A and B are shown apart, each in its own frame.
Chain A
Amino acid sequence: MKFLKLSILALLFPLLTAATAHKFYVSITKIEYVAEKESLQIITKIFIDDIEDALQARYDESLSLDSEKITERDLAFLKQYIFQKIEIRVNKNPVTFSYIGQEYETDIVKIYLEVEGISEVKTLEVTNEVLMEMFEEQQNIIHYKFGDSRRSLVLEKEYPKGMLNFN
């Protein structure tokens, strides 16, 4: 199974163009466990045009993530989508995260989320299906950091869920 996943990773997309901007469908989610605060700090970076397409298709064609002044309605849709598509389990128990906010950086939106009250991380299971219903080849990369140690997961449509074990 691991080999299969690695071979998927090794061959990102069969027909990649030579473009500058993302002709590859990837999102990056950084999760850092801050022991002193007992919290998981999560920043997920998604290409704005992709997620806007997804939200428009899902909720309303007029939805716009484009300006810094996002409407209350559109923000509610964005939050709903994120809560539906990302799921986290710590030590086998599902946890809720709070939505801190979002900010824009050229063609990417950075969404800040936080899980509090985590005294220890023995196992971490992440499901991230953002954009997978829109793009077959969407890959959601998860970078987990705790102190100096770093681990990663690459999630995709066939395997949208990954687990890290620290025992």
Chain B
Amino acid sequence: MSGLSDESQPEPAVAEAGWRPLPPRARWLFVAGNVSALGGLAIGLLVPIGLLLRDTPLALPLALAVLVVLPGWGVWLALRQYACTRWRLDGHGYSLRRGRLWRHETFVPRSRVQHLDLQRGPLARRFGLATLVVHTAGTRHNAVSTAGLAADDAEWLRDQLARWIEHDDDDA
């Protein structure tokens, strides 16, 4: 297969400029989200383990393993997801890059922003974070949501993007 990957480049240098990471404290938001989801799944899995394997010596170790491994995996995944999330605002629009195994880079052109949402849950407020949702008139990617932005950054972004909407409306 090594012969096939000759066309893949590491990352073009031109694309790297201006990509900004999330603030370090945002990783706790990612961790909290994943641990609660996978922790719930682990607790859910205890039921079939208890029902099906009750009389076998496997039950206790398996239950403990599930309780430890799933949330642990959630933490590891959250840290990776956090590390791979980058956003960028340039003259053409807003970009969001996510994922490491499955990489997605979403771009919303400045002329296509319809409206903006700034969401702040209790946990996000506690850490001074916010979620910015950029809406377009599209179908599949009509709401591009960036969780874990620093509250100041999110507000700055919203103001910048909102200015574009006004600008384009004046044009029309």
Chain A bound to chain B: no
Interface residues of A (CB under 8 A from B): none
